[in-house]
Amino acid sequence: MSDVFARFATRAGRLVGRRLRRFLMANPRLSVWLGLPVTVIDRFQTPGDTLLTAAVCREVKKRYPRLRINCITHNAHLLTHDPNIDTLNGPETFLSVDSWYLQLIDARDATTNVLRPTLAQFGISDYEYRAHCYLTGEELARAKDRVAGLPRPFISVNMMTRNDEVKMWPQDYWAQLLPELKKLGTIVQMGDDREPPFEGAVRLAGTLGIRDAIATMGQMDLHIGPDSFLMHAANGVDVPAVIIYGGARPPACLGYALNSNLAVDIECSPCWIHDSRGEKCPYEIKCMRMISPQTVLQAVRDKLSSTTSHAL
């Protein structure tokens, strides 16, 4: 009988604990009054999602500046100087939330912003969707030296993404676009060492650490690429971008207002296909082929003509 009672008491205690956590999370002012910190856990752990997790912390801190925030992430170096985070990778606290949007992926959601599910746990529904990267003076100075003397505008490009084939625009389309981009300014090739070589570009792909890559993005006048970490990094340093979405990911969920977000709406979109789940597009990613090089080039010209230099 004592074992049965002990199991019942344990289950009851867990239930009460979950309800208490939900109540305190939805009432952050009470958590502040009680002196309870909150942990925000970066569940997806990719660099782009780490910047989204930082945006969650910023929006919470903006409303509750006395709330202490602990952030757990594999990419702590990205958030080292973020003033909205009190501790990085400290022990998980009684109050904690997962920063992710798995429910949007599973539901193939086409309209809900990716921060909304996490911020809703804090009772926050009105917020600013943008990234912000906090860099040091030394990092900014090195970035400025990398492009010193090159003719403006600076246009960064990256073609590859982290394993998700459905997010990559066709290579033959890039081959048509890049010679036209050379006529507009200096092309700076960013990303990792998987980026295909392109004659005439300043190739920095695969040569920079992640923070130096962000600082270099801050020197650009425009970025062009897929939905990837560099899309978030560009937004984090206030650089506009032309982002080629195709149909796999909905710009309504992920797209930044500063950008030109090129997407198509077809019967299978948004599919939210992820290579890591063993998923493959059965239609040969036809949504990407529906976005022509001419469409991207026109978006680039429009964006360059409508924005002034955003270089730091």
Q: Domain total for the chain?
A: 2
State whether 196 and 158 are in the same domain: yes
For residue range 203-241, list pLDDT tens digits in order: 999 999 999 999 999 999 999 999 999 999 999 999 999
- Pair (85, 225) in one structural domain: no
Task: Give me the helix-helix angle, 137-146 and 210-217, nearest 10°.
Answer: 70
| 44 belongs to a structural domain | yes
Q: What mean pLDDT is reported for the chain?
A: 92
Q: Would you state the pLDDT for residue 3?
A: 52
Kindly report the backbone phi and psi dihedral angles of residue 77, in degrees, each rounded to the nearest multiple of 5, phi listed first.
-60, -25
Structural domain containing residue 90: 29-120
Q: 164 with 261, same domain?
A: yes
pLDDT given for residue 308 in this prediction: 56
Q: Which of 216, 253, 279 is nearest to 109 (CA)?
A: 253
- Assess if residue 189 is contained within a domain: yes
> Could you report the per-residue pLDDT of 65-104, keeping only the tens digit for each?
999 999 999 999 999 999 999 999 999 999 999 999 999 9
Picking from 86, 120, 154, the residue at the C-terminal end of a domain is: 120
Is residue 154 predicted with pLDDT exceeding 50? Answer: yes
Question: Do 173 and 71 lie in a common domain?
Answer: no
Look up residue 260 and give its two tokens: 């030109």
Of 80, 104, 120, which marks where a domain is finished? 120
- On the 0-12 / 13-18 / 19+ scale of CB atoms within 10 A, 197 is exposed
* 253 closest CA partner among 275, 271, 280, 230: 271
**211 Cβ neighbours under 8 A, 6+ residues apart:** 77, 78, 135, 139
Q: Other CB atoms closer than 10 Å to residue 127's CB: what's the count?
A: 18
Residue 22 lies in a domain: no
- Is position 1 within any domain? no
- Report yes or no on 135 lying in a domain: no
pLDDT at 124 over 60: yes
User: What is the distance between the alpha carbons of residues 84 and 63, in angstroms, rounded to a whole number?
Assistant: 11
Do both 83 and 178 map to the same domain? no
85 and 49 housed in the same domain: yes
Note whether residue 264 is domain-resident: yes
Around Cβ 11, how many Cβ atoms within 10 Å?
A: 10
Per-residue model confidence (pLDDT) at position 26: 80
Whether this model's pTM surpasses 0.75: yes
Per-residue model confidence (pLDDT) at position 5? 36
DSSP output for 36-80: --EEEEESS-SHHHHHHHHHHHHHHHHH-TTS-EEEE-TTGGGGT
Span 297-311, average pLDDT: 82
Which domain CATH number covers 293?
A: 3.40.50.2000
Q: Are residues 69 and 207 located together in one domain of the fold?
A: no
- 58 and 98, same domain (yes or no): yes
Residues 159 and 258 placed together within one structural domain of the fold: yes
203 and 59 in a common domain:
no
Q: What is the pLDDT of residues 31-71, one digit of tens each?
A: 888 889 999 999 999 999 999 999 999 999 999 999 999 99
Residues 291 and 183 in one domain: yes
Whether residues 161 and 80 share a domain: the answer is no
